[in-house]
Amino acid sequence: METLLLWLFYISTLYAFIPGMISRMFGFRVFRKGRTQRQIALTFDDGPDPLYTPQLLDLLKQFDAKATFFVVGSNAERYPEIIKRIHEEGHQIGIHNYVHKTNWLMRPAMVKKQIAQTDHIIHQITGERTYFYRPPWGIVNLFDFSKKNDTQIVLWSSMFGDWRYRVGTERLTRRMLKKLSPGEIFLLHDCGATLGANRDAPSHMLEALEHVLHEASKRGLRSIRIDEMIELSNPGNLARLDEAWKSRHKVPILPWYKKVLVFLWLVWEKIFHLVFHLETTNEEDPIFHFRSRSYQGEAVVMQGGARLEKGDRVLELHFDNKKLFEIGSRSKSTVQLAIQMIRGVEKTLPELAAYIRNHPELGKIKALYGVSMLNRGPEQFGFTVADLPKGFFALSSQLYLKLLMRVIHPGGNQHVRRHAEQLVPKLIVMPTDLLLSRFADKGSHRPIANHVNDPEGLEATIPC
């Protein structure tokens, strides 16, 4: 009997205790603290919770802070609308097992099943998969280290006992302020329903966090997602993990008919550019191509009250088809596609403003003009969205853009069929004066991508 107990002790030590100590003390194959200048990472475990997580999201939005939520799969399954909101508001979602059970007490196959099950739930709700993982109580086992191509284990640099109600707001605030410095990863909890926690403890956490976010703002510190923290701390590491994950999970290859469509599409674009003498602000990495022409549509009232009338000069925008396809093929979901497009537009609008200023012959340009299959995205940049007059142009634009979405969208035909009623081409216009005032001085402009509350709303923002 003693021999059996001794063997059990040796096995448990090798399986769980030693790996746990190595990860905590030396950071072996885990990410536990960043190396940043002005950033911290707020992370929240055990949720979502129907009472406290929405309050937390409201607080984060108030301070324009981004966070990472390590969710329990069974809770995510129970409250999908909260998961969807977390995702749509730009926060990161990670895995905290399907049930809140320590990895020390589970076989490797069971841990793998817990992770896969939770990932599947997140994907069903958001359309995105995640490889960020925090084991409950931060306890890893020997086989967790072997999943380096499947998961990025994320621990923390600071925890505060916020799961205990008796800690109280004042003591919790002092503890958090003491650790408020660049690179810190805060471990907090938006749910008090797990073993060892107090149900109402998150109420004190929310009060303390509000004080901490106020102080962080005074010090010029901001909270970012874990993926951003990793990239800032170890440039290239996230890209390598992403490539390893893709190769392991076999990203689908385009079928032959899509390859033919893409080839013909890109040939047509070259011909179109030659015939209509389109220009760009960046030959090496173009986002938009454009040409000056007279506006021939109905009058449109733009932001600021200016009217675009028939005969006014406009700069007609066309999204670069090759760039559009590259973004679509790299994106694993609608939201990734949207975010990449947001960044591309955000980068190009200051270039367009500088181009207009440096070309006096464009001084009579009254507005930027384009046709887009969109929901709510362009208003974030200052565009006005209007319906196209019914007729041949509107119908042909709709057919073309639906074909385009089938080729470049991660969801392909399935997405087009599911959202057919939303895929309606719209007119988008922005006054040149607004473009110049908002984007000509790039140094004073805060990135729009940080303020987009609904990235999925840009999923079809594709000027043709």
Burial class of residue 299 in the structure, from the number of CB atoms within 10 Å of its CB (0-12 exposed, 13-18 middle, 19+ buried): exposed
Q: Residue 359: which residues within 8 A CB-CB, separation 6 or more?
A: none
In a domain, 119, yes or no: yes
Per the structure, the count of domains in the chain is: 2
Backbone angles phi, psi at 384, to 5 degrees: -100, 135
CA 407 to chain CA centroid, nearest Å = 22
Which position among 87, 91, 189, 415 bears the catalytic label? 189
Same domain, 339 and 292: yes
Same domain, 301 and 407: yes
Tell me the CA distances in angstroms from 230 to 4, 220, 247, one per residue in order. Answer: 43, 20, 21
Query: What pLDDT was estimated at residue 456?
Result: 38
**Cα(354)–Cα(70) distance, integer angstroms:** 43
**Cα(87)–Cα(361) distance, integer angstroms:** 45
In a domain, 378, yes or no: yes
Same domain, 344 and 366: yes
The list of the chain residues with pLDDT below 50 reads 1-2, 4-15, 18-19, 22-23, 26-27, 251, 410, 415-416, 418-422, 443-464
Q: How many residues does the structure list for the chain?
A: 464
Same domain, 176 and 313: no
In a domain, 464, yes or no: no
The secondary structure of the chain, three-state, reads CHHHHHHHHHHHHHHHHHHHHHHHHHCCCEECCCCCCCEEEEEEECCCCCCHHHHHHHHHHHCCCCEEEEECHHHHHHCHHHHHHHHHCCCEEEECCCCCCCHHHCCHHHHHHHHHHHHHHHHHHHCCCCCEECCHHHCCCHHHHHCCCCCEEECCCEECCCCCHHHHHHHHHHHHHHCCCCCCEEEEECCCCCCCCCCCHHHHHHHHHHHHHHHHHHHCCEECCHHHHHHHHCCCHHHHHHHHHHHHCCCCCCCHHHHHHHHHHHHHHHHHHHHHCCECCCCCCCCEEEEEEECCCCCEECCCCCEECCCCEEEEEEECHHHHHHHHHHCCCHHHHHHHHHHHHHHHHHHHHHHHHHCHHHCCEEEEEEEEECCCHHHHHCCEEEECCCCHHHHHHHHHHHHHHHHHCCCHHHHHHHCHHHCCEEEEEEEHHHHHHHHCCHHHCCCHHHHCCCHHHHCCCCCC
In a domain, 463, yes or no: no
Q: Which of 200, 227, 248 is where one domain is finished? A: 248
Which position among 45, 162, 227, 320 bears the catalytic label? 45
Amino acid at 414: Q
Query: What pLDDT was estimated at residue 249?
Result: 54
Task: Tell me, yes or no, if 227 is annotated catalytic.
Answer: no
pTM of the predicted protein model: 0.54
102, 38 in Cβ contact below 8 A? no
Query: What pLDDT was estimated at residue 419?
Result: 47
Share of the chain above pLDDT 90, in %: 43
Strand 384-387 with 365-373, pairing: unpaired
In a domain, 164, yes or no: yes
CA angle (388 as vertex; 88, 261 as ends), nearest 5: 70
Tell me the CA distances in angstroms from 5 to 11, 14, 103, one per residue in order. Answer: 10, 14, 20
Same domain, 13 and 152: yes
Query: What pLDDT was estimated at residue 8?
Result: 42
Same domain, 416 and 273: yes
- CA-closest candidate to residue 96, choices 70, 122, 64: 70
Same domain, 348 and 240: no
Same domain, 241 and 287: no
Domain that holds residue 165: 2-248
Q: Which of 248, 271, 289 is where one domain is finished? A: 248
Same domain, 130 and 168: yes
Task: Tell me, yes or no, if 189 is annotated catalytic.
Answer: yes
Same domain, 103 and 178: yes
In a domain, 37, yes or no: yes
Same domain, 136 and 191: yes
Q: Which of 248, 282, 313 is where one domain is finished? A: 248
Backbone angles phi, psi at 440, to 5 degrees: -65, -35
Q: Render pLDDT for 45-92 as a digit per residue (tens, 0 to 9).
A: 999 999 999 999 999 999 999 999 999 999 999 999 999 999 999 999
Which CATH number goes with the domain that contains 69?
3.20.20.370
In a domain, 135, yes or no: yes
In a domain, 75, yes or no: yes
Same domain, 243 and 391: no
